[in-house]
Amino acid sequence: MKKVKGSPRGTRRRDVPLTEAGIHAAALRLIDADGVEALTMRKLATALDANPMSPYHHVPNKDALLRGVTRMVGAQFRTVTLEDAPWQERIRLLATDFRTLAHRHPNLMAYSFSQPDIIQPEDPFWAALIATLEASGVSHEEIPQVAALMCAVVIGVLIAELSGALHQWSNLKPTTPAAGEDWSPDVGPEEDRMFRLVLDTIIAGLESRLAAAGDGEDIRRGVSPEAGP
């Protein structure tokens, strides 16, 4: 009466009992293939060669599962530290590493970016970002805020890139294709160029504010004219 549910060609998976880590890995595989919205507890169980309800013994529910997968990928986010480079270069490196991760799991990231769990205090990424900002000279009590904002900004650009919004918005007002071709159009995909553009602009903005704060002024009052009291 009992149907054998193994793979058709005799390659049987799961001679090993279910694990939280194994469930997370399988879920990530399904998400990479078909997107977060296509992930189903039942499909996940099938992929694990298990009963629909078996995963529930290792994961409380679907929300927790997604949070777990997000944390898992976020933790695997190792980054080269490159201690001796100038802070500008280190920020660029951190951001492009982050972007590489986003490109490796775009389906998951499009989802995870909307929740705080991607970034955890014990992530080496966060430590590296904090250290880099310390090296840059940002005032000590502002470092957490600046770090959080940098994450938000980079994530915003990545969300727009992964969803196609960046490409779409860029072409809302088509540029006149008249005679503008003297700036090397073969530098790479449009998105690469735009990503560098934001990074450079943000870094220039930080430099400008740090320079203004150099003579005793707080970084917060370097540019904005409405600093009150």
Partner DNA sequence: ACCTGAACACCGTTCAAGT
- The residues of the shown chain that bind DNA, judged by CB under 7 A, are 2, 17-18, 39-43, 50-54, 56-58, 61-63
Among positions 30, 73, 101, 119, the unique one binding a copy of itself when judged by CB under 8 A: 119
Which amino acid would we find at residue 200? D
Question: For residues 57 and 65, is the Cβ–Cβ distance under 8 A?
Answer: no
- Both tokens of 146, joined, read 């600046």
Is residue 215 within the footprint of a copy of itself (CB under 8 A)?
no
| Whole-Å CA distances, 3 to 6, 41, 49, 51 | 9, 20, 12, 12
If phi > 0 it is left, if psi is from -120 to 50 it is alpha, else beta; for residue 11 that is: beta
Q: CB 40: neighbour CB atoms within 10 A?
A: 14
Among positions 3, 11, 84, 175, the unique one binding a copy of itself when judged by CB under 8 A: 175
In the complex, the smallest distance separating the C-beta of residue 110 from DNA, rounded to whole angstroms, is 18
Which amino acid would we find at residue 220? R
Minimum CB distance to a copy of itself smaller for 27 or for 119: 119
Number of residues in contact with a copy of itself under rule CB under 8 A: 69
Is residue 154 within the footprint of a copy of itself (CB under 8 A)?
yes
In the complex, the smallest distance separating the C-beta of residue 16 from a copy of itself, rounded to whole angstroms, is 34
Q: Contacts with a copy of itself in 87-106 (CB under 8 A)? A: none
Among positions 5, 12, 187, 189, the unique one binding a copy of itself when judged by CB under 8 A: 187
Among positions 152, 189, 192, 214, the unique one binding a copy of itself when judged by CB under 8 A: 152
Is residue 125 within the footprint of a copy of itself (CB under 8 A)?
no
Question: For residues 166 and 191, is the Cβ–Cβ distance under 8 A?
Answer: yes
d(Cα 57, Cα 41) in Å, to the nearest integer?
12
Minimum CB distance to DNA smaller for 56 or for 77: 56
Question: For residues 110 and 36, is the Cβ–Cβ distance under 8 A?
Answer: yes
Please choose, from the candidates 152, 189, 188, the residue with its C-alpha nearest in 3D space to the C-alpha of residue 167: 189
Residues that bind a copy of itself (CB under 8 A): 110, 113-116, 119-121, 126, 130, 140-141, 143-149, 151-157, 159-161, 163-166, 168-176, 180, 183-184, 187, 190, 193-194, 196-198, 200-209, 218, 220, 222-224, 228-229
